[in-house]
Amino acid sequence: MRTQVAIIGGGPAGLLLGQLLHRYGIDNVIFERKDRDYILGRIRAGVLEQGTVGLLDEVGVSARLHQDGLVHHGIELAFGGARHRIDMTKATGKTVTVYGQTEVTRDLMDARLAAGLTTVYDADNVGLHDFDGTQPRIRYEKDGKTHEVACDFIAGCDGFHGVSRQSVKPEALTVFERVYPFGWLGLLSDTPPVSDELIYNNHERGFALCSMRSPHRSRYYLQCALDEQVENWSDDKFWEELRRRLDPEAAATIVTGLSIEKSIAPLRSFVAEPMRFGRLFLAGDAAHIVPPTGAKGLNLAASDVHYLSTALREFYTEKSAAGIDDYSRRALGRVWKAERFSWWMTSMLHRFPGTDEFSSRIQRAELAYLIDSDAAKTSLSENYVGLPY
């Protein structure tokens, strides 16, 4: 088999890249180590920047998004027992859309299937070869047989634990990382959200987030210790602790119910530089991780894919390598701005172990300044809705 671009990873980043390349007339094959049902079974966030929605519009997979997605014009910050709304549309003229990552993935999968494009699921022992030269190859196993695919380029969209970044020589990578001393305990339930917009709660017991997937499905998070176990949290215990961290109005009106899913996710900031190694390009979580506080994970993957797809289109249609030569610099410029914003949101809203009273007062002053300053609200809004590509 031969293709122009071999895409490693069948999540939203790889699927979106595949659809963009197809639209540009560039042949591509996706290799995914899991099956379709496994990928669709993963619970992920779903706050989409306007730029991400625009890319989904471009590849023609946004009909359900515009039908079922929830357009949000602001967020709420809660601290000191009161809520304060940040009107992002007033500040920027832009919005975000709440639409689950699982649904984005499903829409992209269906579009790829309808277009007759090749996706190899259950691809075991994927190996990336010769990407430092001009004839890279992918080798993988399926159904007990070894297969090899020749290609022009490899796009590593296979996440933090994937083979793509691991295939790069360690001395060629510079890694920047910060691991946070807490995680998020998340609960998904078929209950109406407590608010029409997301509520970010700063509380002495720890951070809490009230989010949603639809008008009838809610997603809630609690800051928890890294060594916490999901098994220790019954539904009743979760709801009780959430109420403690909410403002009085939200605590009195929240609708509780049985959980569909509960899980704990650690928080980290991570960047691997550069994002290009010969004819191998990293995109999305393969190259960077952000704490979820800023809702940037999927959106950063989308901007990477935008830069990479336009660079490859330029290579094939204009016979110019300028775009691919500049891919890493352009992508990392936006990545670091999103890392900064996500770190700032995390630092402002969470309780850190061992924090002294001075640091606590500074945190409260930061929140108070934010809600009192139009300039500060505009800065938060610009970053939250998404910086330009």
Task: Please name the residue that has the structure tokens 């699927």.
Answer: 15
Quick one: CA torsion of 207, 213, 218, 220, rounded to 10 degrees? -20
Tokens of 326: 């500049």
Tokens of 147: 């297969």
296 given a catalytic annotation: yes
Q: How far apart, in Å, are the Cα atoms of 368 and each of 96, 207, 365?
A: 24, 17, 5
Residues 108 and 102: their CA atoms lie apart, in Å, by 10
Instruction: Say how many C-beta atoms besides its own lie within 10 A of residue 376's C-beta.
Output: 15
- Which of 292, 306, 327, 350 is catalytic? The answer is 292
- Which of 12, 22, 72, 221 is catalytic? The answer is 72
Sign of CA dihedral 91, 220, 47, 297: positive
72 given a catalytic annotation: yes
Q: Are 241 and 72 in contact (CB under 8 A)?
A: no
- Which of 73, 288, 296, 306 is catalytic? The answer is 296
**Parallel/antiparallel/unpaired status of strands 70-72 and 47-48:** unpaired
- Which of 99, 140, 180, 200 is catalytic? The answer is 200
Residues 33 and 156: their CA atoms lie apart, in Å, by 13
Sign of CA dihedral 165, 167, 168, 171: positive
384 given a catalytic annotation: yes
- Which of 140, 180, 327, 384 is catalytic? The answer is 384
Indicate which residues carry an active-site annotation.
72, 200, 292, 296, 384
